[in-house]
Structure formats: C-alpha cells, structure tokens
Structure 1
C-alpha cells in the first residue's frame, strides 16, 4: 500500500505550504517575480530555504503555485462581479471595471500576472488564467446574444479578444507607473461595450 502521512503531519505540511505561498504573495506584490527567489521568500516567511523545499521542489513549482493562487483570487472577484444584477452589457461593464480596478490598485502584482517575463511553467499558468477570464465574459456575451441585446457573434472568440485587449491596455499604465490615472477604467468599459456592439450611454 502507498505510504500515507498521518493527518497531523499532513496538516503541518499544508500549513507550511500556505505560509510559504502567503509570503511569496507579499514579496511579489512589492518586487515582482524578479525578486521572488527561494531565499527571499524564505526570509519573508521567517523560515529556512530548506523548509521551502519541503513544500516545493524548486523555484519553478513555487512560482507556478504562486501564480495559480493569485490568479484564482482575481478570477473569483471578476466572476462575482459578473454575477451581479443587470443586463449583459451592465454585467460585462462590472466585470471589466473589477478586473481593471483591482489591477490598478496593485500595479506591481498585476504586471506580474499579466506581462512580466517568467519561467515557462508560469507562462503555461498564464494561458489558463486568460482562458478563465474568457469563459466568464463568454457566458455574459452569449446571454446578451440570446436576449437580443447584443448582435450575433461567437461568444468565445469575442471574449478572448476582449480579455486580450483589456489586458494589453493595462500593461502600459502598470509598467509606466501611471496606474493612478482616473481615465483608464471608464475608457476600458466604453471600449468593451463598443466592441461587443452594445449600447454606450455616451454615444446617445
């Protein structure tokens, strides 16, 4: 039979893994991936580098796990926003606003999620991250098409293009330190509704 750790031992290992990940989140939010060496994460967590390797085989595995943890929080926030009341267009606007506002509130972390050069393992996770956002928007677009609010289109293709455009539009402000600009979020919402063929109040 395969060896199974006693529950108390597994609980300690899980707690240590969580401790390492939370330390990595704090460090990445300040320094980006470039500052997230195993030694730096261990120092942030107040443990030895050897203890980090008890939870992760190396930096690549740790970086991928860190990306998944951060991305899951962002996807959950956008999913919650998309589930709110209103028309399909209003829900798309709420989701875009949440995505962009959260990025601009934590520019270093958002840049790491969206565009910072990373290991191939993290690049793979980044694709999963974008597809998760695509799926959130695709559901809203499909509902809008079904109700007649939006013109006929392929929801998955439009959603993928929308996520790519919004992400790319944020990279510049995040990298240039212009994240405090008050024009970014309204402009992205307007662009998104126009791209979908929805009604934009300012056009009336």
Structure 2
C-alpha cells in the first residue's frame, strides 16, 4: 500500500511539473519571456505560485527547462535528418529548411528562445543549445566533405557559419515588434533562400 501511495504521489508530482512547464511555454509563445512570470505560470497551470517554487527555485530555472526541452526536440529532428537516407547536400538543405520553417511557424516562441534579452544564466543555456545544433550540422558537413560534395577549409568554422545563417537570418522576420504576418508563399521563398545560401556556401564547385 505504501508503495502504491508513493507511485501515485510521484505521478502527481510529474504531472504538476509538466503542467507548469507547458504553461510557461504557452505564455512565452504568446508574449515572450516577459509574460512568463511565476504567478502567471501558476494561474495558467491552475496551481499556486508556492507549488511552482516546490519544483523550481526561480523563474530562470523554469525558462531554462522550457528552452532545454524545446532545443532537445529540435536537435532530435536535425539528427534524424542527418542520419537519413539522403545525400549530404539534401540533408543540409532539408535540415536548414526544417529548422527555419519551424521557427517561422512559432515566431514568438522561436524569437524568445533564440534572441530575446535574458539573464546571464539563461544566456549560458542558450549558448549551449546552439552548440547542440552545431553538432548536428557538423555531422552533415563532415559526411559531405568526406564524400566530396562539400568543400571548405575548417569543419568547425563551416558549421558555425551555417548555424549562424540559419538562426540569425530569422531575427528580422521573427521580431514581434515588427508585427508582421507572413503568408505561406513568402515563408516558402524565405526558407528556401536561407537553405540555398547555406548549401551554396559549402558545396564543391565544378572544376574545383
């Protein structure tokens, strides 16, 4: 009986934790980090602010957890593409296209997670998340260089440049202060431009 009570308590605690994180993510997606205050998170989750503090020491810890969960999911998608049955050129184009498209489809959330001003603790985690993205792109680039499809001097530098292009290129269109809604045709055009740029930057030129 004691074991059953303990198991039920663990399930309830895990459910509360997930609700808190989901609420924080929804608030960030609506209005950015500034809207994801502890009381607002608690209200949306239907719990007390005191309960939120039972799981997290402060707001930064909640936001870091949201960031880590989001980036883990994005990296899983990129890794799946990297390990797929495509040529390196196709993998790179698909990885960049998928990342940028997903960012533009969740513009406020993507902007906040990647660019909104944050405290040093969260900024450190943001830097780490970009390193994880870089690892996925490094895998694709390394395969492409070995196969002869790609040509560049330094793998790490090439990966940094690709990640820089696929992340910072979306700062302007994602910026919520511009209050612009893009139609699907523009999204398709914009995403393709970034993916083409990244591929052309590393692809071996004929005769070289």
2:128 is the alignment partner of 1:122: no
SS at match of 1:86: coil
Matched, 1:20 2:26: no
Indicate how the Cα distance of structure 1 residues 198 and 89 shifts in structure 2: closer, same or farther if over 3 A, else same. Answer: farther
Counterpart in 1 of 2:161? 161
- The aligned counterpart of 1:3 is none
Q: Is the 8 A contact 1:141 1:159 kept in 2?
A: yes
The separation in 1 between residues aligned to 2:205 and 2:69, in whole angstroms, is: 35
Secondary structure, counterpart of 2:170 in structure 1:
helix
Residues 5-84 of structure 1 mapped to structure 2, 5 A cutoff: 6-84=6-84
Contact 1:193/1:199 (8 A) holds in 2:
no
Equivalence for 1:185: 191
Structure 1 stretches lacking a partner, 5+ long = 1-5
Query: Could you list the per-position Cα deviations for residues 79-110 of structure 1 after superposition, in whole angstroms to 9, with x for gaps in the alignment?
Result: 22333222111100000011000001010001
CA distance in structure 2 between the partners assigned to 1:104 and 1:195 by the alignment: 23
Provide the secondary structure at the position in 2 that maps to 1:100: helix
Does the CA contact (< 8 Å) of 1:20 and 1:42 recur in 2? yes
Structure 2, unpaired ranges of 5+: 1-5
- 2:187 corresponds to 1:194: no
| Aligned partner of residue 166 in structure 1, secondary structure | helix
1:171 aligns with 2:148: no
Alignment of 1:81-96 (within 5 A): 81-96=81-96
Count of residues paired in the alignment: 196
CA RMSD of aligned residues (A): 1.9
Partners of 2:82 and 2:139 within 8 A in 1: no
**Which whole-Å CA distance do the structure 2 matches of 1:10 and 1:159 have between them?**
42
TM superposition score normalised by structure 2: 0.87
Q: Output one character per residue of 1:35-64: Cα deviation in whole Å (capped at 9) or x when no partner.
A: 000011111111111111111111111111
